[in-house]
Structure 1
Amino acid sequence: MSASEDKVEGEEVGRVKANDPDMGDNGLVNYRLVDGDGIGTFDLSTDSETREAVIKLKKRVDFETTKLYTLKLEAFNMHVDPHYLAWGPYKDEATIKISVEDADEPPVFVAPLYTFEVEENAPAGTQVGRVHAQDTDAANNPVRYMIPRYTDVEQFFSVNSEDGMITATRPLDRETQPWHNISVSATEIGGHHQDTKVRVNIRVKDRNDNAPEFATNNEVLMCENVAPGKVIETISAVDKDEMAHRQRFTFSLAPEVAHNQNFSLKDNADSTASVYVLRKGFSRLTQDVYFLPVEINDNGVPPMSGTGTLTVRVCSCDSKDTILSCNVEPYVLPAGLSTGALIAILACIVILLVIVVLFVALRRQKKEPLIVFEEEDIRENIITYDDEGGGEEDTEAFDIATLQNPDGANGFHPRKDMKPELQFPLRPGVHPAANSVDVDDFIKTRVAEADSDPTAPPYDSIQIYGYEGRGSLAGSLSSLESVTTESDLDYDYLRSWGPRFKKLADLYGTKDCSVHEGDDDDDDDC
């Protein structure tokens, strides 16, 4: 019987069966293990139907460890007739040998876990450590090594594919990453190319390559009336490097301020230092901030030193050294004018500006008056008149009212300066010979026409009605009706107006002059 080393726990290995010579119901056979080196590796049970002994794996077998197991098996009859006990015993034994078959298994690393160390800032190519795996199969195929990239994304390390030596590809910084956890896989060459992985932890050993610095960067607040010799601050330091148990820090003022007259520094020999005031009379008006450079040294290998700047701010304090204010702005304000007063003044200025803006906005939104005066009635409408007028009295050709309302240019409108008697009948009781006109009726009629005119402007307007009377004894005064030559004028009637118009009659009258014979003078007799 054989069992492969790739079988798992509980898997059946084989079966055996014992024959009952009686062939009856009382001849039921059962089995048990009595001896052998495989008792701890295999298990035995009886099949209730076939009455066979079933051998199963109790734990996995390894060909490389044990290649053969021996089991001693006993079969016995469970029900024996007492009359035949003397003929016994009614049982039998058998020896079973189980051979382990070799299976193709992945390589096995010598150690389940590897831990290495590498110096900080070591150059590229520095060897970190070696891993080793081998193929335990009978073929003993060679093994190749590699680092899965997902375990070393930034590729800090590489491994030799033949001997498993791990090296660093660049200098490592402990302060950035003190530990690197990667995996190395071993794959057999040949067979089924099975592989296995092992975890590798790499610790970066610290090196003193960082200068110490202040533990905190807070400003130091100092009162203006501070007394000389008073400690205003106790400073300490930290180091990014791995601080050893005996690591200490020392402090001193930088050379450029070692002899200043304001502050001094005392190293307390316990990795702290105290800052003292040397004088009195500090004033924020003179100087409100002081900068004090301090050198910090450690005792590492190699020793490192750094310079930190301590900021000291002068503040206003009360008699109990309670800080009231550390701002310099109140001291540059005008005398007698508080911050509250300035805020009130600014608020008033803002309110005035808002009122002015609102007033301008309301003025712009104010509506235009409904009444349009003649000097404001400027329109862009152009009415073309191409009729030649007949004179001053001919108003048919040019109607000025059309310019005030261009919409009425297309309709017919009666003339407003026609004779009243031609358009309106005379009232009873008025003699037609008087050639008079009822002006009241004339005005009312014109007002009614203006009110009912759909083309009239929608606002109040002034209607002017001019009429030149007819039938005057003086006649027309128009210069257009005057004669054009003086020869057509007759002023002889001026002689009949009396002595007062004699001069005019002599100047403009007709002269009937004749020369008489025998007269010596040249006077004309008219």
Structure 2
Amino acid sequence: MSPVGIIKTALPNMDREAKDRYLLVIQAKDMVGQMGGLSGTTSITVTLTDVNDNPPRFSRRFYQYNVPESLPVNSTVAKIKALDDDIGPNAEMEYRIVDSDGLSVLQISTDKETQEGIITLQKELDFEKKSSYNLKIEVSNTNIDQRFQALGPFSDTASVKLVVEDVDEAPEFNSPLYRMSVSEAARVSTAIGTVSAHDPDMANNPVRYSIDRNTDLERYFNIDAKTGVITIAKSLDRETNEEHNITVLAMESQNPAQVGRGLVLISLVDINDNVPEFPVEYETFVCENTEHGKVIQKISAVDRDKPPSGHYFYFSLASGAGNNLNFTVQDNRDNTAAILTRRSGFSRQEQAVYFLPIVIVDNGVPPLSSTNTLTVRVCSCDGDGVAHTCNAEAYALPAGLSTGALIAILACVLTLLVLVLFIVTLRRRKKESLVFDEEKDIRENIVRYDDEGGGEEDTEAFDMTTLRNLNFIQEVKSRRDVTPDVQLLAKTTRAISPDNIIFGELIWERMRKADTDPSAPPYDSLQTYAFEGSGSVAESLSSLESIISASDQNYDYLSDWGPRFKKLADMYGSAKDSLNS
């Protein structure tokens, strides 16, 4: 068996925290280590395992943290951590508060991963009530090795002070909910109640009040900005809105961003301001063969008011109808009444409808009343009292004329009305189309008048002599529908000019078309022609030509105007005579 080397510790107390690893070089020799023997070496690493021989320790004895009073609940206030030279499970710690003046406000827990003590807030902080908190915190190992108890204690303590910082807070109302009541008959500007709020900060700044109009859209109420007194701004009606739930805002005068909110519930006290009335429109009838004392209708009433002791109504006939011989009202004393007949037998031929005025009185203070009309129709009924016919007009029909015949007659009348309307519509459309065609028929400019002409006097306003100077003979073609009395003979009275020939051809061509046009009207018409000649009979009146020309020019134009105008007049008169012929 080969010899075994045993490695032992040389020191009695080894400390892992001082050195946790050792490197050994081991040599082995044969021949018991004598000369000539052989040897070999190897390296051995020795690692020390940890034991819980070190207690946790705080790095400081006193810790201080500043905390704003606005910090929300469950927020982390501070973190503290103790040191432990051990590792692994031997370094696991536990924190707890052993002494504090705020045990209900603060608590501490251990973060298992970081081994930190986490201080959290359990209640809201209020700088004005308490400005600081003192805590004594203890830390200890969770795994304690009993062999090293003598090295203990395996725990440590430290003091923690939390200083609460003042924060500008919104105003606070003295009550979370204000309940007020007011009569619905209260006048405008009547005071309902008062709300109060204060600045919780040490500065105690003044507070101004207002109403959140999102909760009072109709603006029924106002509030005094300084005193907080709520008043009525407009008339109230309990039947429209029995309660008003509004929000009042309190604002710091020095910091308008800080706004507090308070709730106000305003209840309206009812007054008797609504009359009782029928809940529905009753459809009441009485049979022709009814008996005396027959109940034909049971009625009730409603009232929008809400008296404290409940409603109580009284029913009766109106004073003018108290001696009614046909019907009567019986008050049942339970907010209902019955309508009874006072005689037997009714006839639709005599009277088809009865109007019964019924007075309803409530028990309000003061009591109010109203008169409601009950319409009672007379109907023919079967043996079980079921109404069949309530139409009185049926009795006024001729004998043997049934409802079907009436319907047929009405249908015929409606048919005739439709036919008449159709014919009238067609005539209107035809008339409109004729008027439209006349407007479109634009042959010439035609002037119509009913006055008798004056003969030759009509031509005195315009001398037609010039137009008769046609200077050529034109074959006259008569209209087929008109026989001329005198045939036109052209006369050659003077030399023919080119302008006269062109103008004459134009007039004769237009006259031929008018005579041969079958659609032309068979009466005289005024026709207008536009014609531009090649030059003036008087020739040019300009003096520019005399400047260019070297010949002598006569500038005495006034002496030449007489003959020239006479020549034009003669041409115009000739044309006029030709047209008149």
TM-score range, shorter chain: 0.5 to 0.7
**1:110 partnered with 2:174:** yes
CA root-mean-square deviation: 3.7
Shift of 1:158: 0.8
- In structure 1, which of residues 32, 39, 55 is the aligned counterpart of residue 95 of structure 2? 32
String of CA shifts for 1:440-466, please: whole Å, max 9, x gaps. Answer: xxxxxxxxxxxxxxxxxxxxxxxxxxx
- Whole-Å Cα distance in 2 between the matches of residues 131 and 356 of structure 1? 79
Change over 3 Å in CA distance of 1:54–1:265 after alignment to 2: closer
String of CA shifts for 1:489-524, please: whole Å, max 9, x gaps. Answer: xxxxxxxxxxxxxxxxxxxxxxxxxxxxxxxxxxxx
What SS does the aligned partner of 1:141 have? coil
- Whole-Å Cα distance in 2 between the matches of residues 203 and 187 of structure 1? 26
Contact 1:33 1:71 in 2 (8 A): no
Q: After superposition, where does 1:42-81 map in structure 2 within 5 Å?
A: 42-45=106-109, 53-76=117-140
Change over 3 Å in CA distance of 1:302–1:358 after alignment to 2: closer
- Give the letter for the 2:185 counterpart: N
Residue equivalent to 2:317: 253
- In structure 1, which of residues 299, 317, 328 is the aligned counterpart of residue 392 of structure 2? 328
- Whole-Å Cα distance in 1 between the matches of residues 113 and 341 of structure 2? 103
Residue equivalent to 1:284: 348
TM-score, normalised to structure 1, is 0.63
Contact 1:215 1:238 in 2 (8 A): yes
Contact 1:66 1:100 in 2 (8 A): yes
Contact 2:79 2:118 in 1 (8 A): yes
Change over 3 Å in CA distance of 1:315–1:380 after alignment to 2: farther
Residue equivalent to 1:314: 378
- Whole-Å Cα distance in 1 between the matches of residues 480 and 340 of structure 2? 90
- Whole-Å Cα distance in 1 between the matches of residues 421 and 269 of structure 2? 73
- In structure 1, which of residues 110, 114, 121 is the aligned counterpart of residue 185 of structure 2? 121
What SS does the aligned partner of 1:238 have? coil
Change over 3 Å in CA distance of 1:96–1:328 after alignment to 2: same
Residue equivalent to 2:475: none
- Give the letter for the 1:33 counterpart: R
Residue equivalent to 1:487: none
Contact 1:31 1:73 in 2 (8 A): no
Residue equivalent to 1:236: 300
Change over 3 Å in CA distance of 1:87–1:232 after alignment to 2: closer
- Whole-Å Cα distance in 1 between the matches of residues 289 and 156 of structure 2? 113
Q: After superposition, where does 1:295-444 map in structure 2 within 5 Å?
A: 295-347=359-411
- Give the letter for the 2:152 counterpart: G
Shift of 1:387: 6.7
Change over 3 Å in CA distance of 1:342–1:63 after alignment to 2: same
- Give the letter for the 2:372 counterpart: G
Contact 1:18 1:29 in 2 (8 A): no
- In structure 2, which of residues 220, 231, 234 is the aligned counterpart of residue 156 of structure 1? 220
Shift of 1:187: 0.7
Shift of 1:75: 3.1
Contact 1:104 1:192 in 2 (8 A): no
Contact 2:216 2:246 in 1 (8 A): yes
**1:202 partnered with 2:266:** yes
- Whole-Å Cα distance in 2 between the matches of residues 117 and 388 of structure 1? 116
- Whole-Å Cα distance in 1 between the matches of residues 372 and 140 of structure 2? 93
- Give the letter for the 1:116 counterpart: M
Shift of 1:107: 1.0
Shift of 1:222: 0.9
Deviates more, 1:285-294 or 1:138-147: 285-294
Change over 3 Å in CA distance of 1:280–1:97 after alignment to 2: same
5+ long unaligned stretches in structure 2: 1-63, 431-478, 490-515, 519-581
Contact 1:222 1:312 in 2 (8 A): yes
- Whole-Å Cα distance in 2 between the matches of residues 247 and 80 of structure 1? 83
Shift of 1:169: 1.8
Change over 3 Å in CA distance of 1:354–1:144 after alignment to 2: closer
- Whole-Å Cα distance in 2 between the matches of residues 354 and 50 of structure 1? 100
- Whole-Å Cα distance in 1 between the matches of residues 199 and 176 of structure 2? 15
Change over 3 Å in CA distance of 1:382–1:107 after alignment to 2: farther
What SS does the aligned partner of 1:199 have? strand
- Give the letter for the 1:329 counterpart: E
Change over 3 Å in CA distance of 1:388–1:203 after alignment to 2: closer
**1:275 partnered with 2:339:** yes
Contact 2:98 2:138 in 1 (8 A): no
- Give the letter for the 1:155 counterpart: R
Identity among equivalent positions (%) equals 45
Change over 3 Å in CA distance of 1:316–1:243 after alignment to 2: farther
- Give the letter for the 2:244 counterpart: H
Contact 1:184 1:200 in 2 (8 A): yes
- Give the letter for the 1:341 counterpart: A
What SS does the aligned partner of 1:225 have? coil
What SS does the aligned partner of 1:36 have? strand
- Count matched residues: 379
Residue equivalent to 2:165: 101
Change over 3 Å in CA distance of 1:92–1:192 after alignment to 2: farther
Shift of 1:256: 0.9
- Whole-Å Cα distance in 2 between the matches of residues 54 and 322 of structure 1? 87
String of CA shifts for 1:268-304, please: whole Å, max 9, x gaps. Answer: 2222222222223432222211111111112222222
Q: After superposition, where does 1:74-93 map in structure 2 within 5 Å?
A: 74-76=138-140, 84-93=148-157
Residue equivalent to 2:553: none
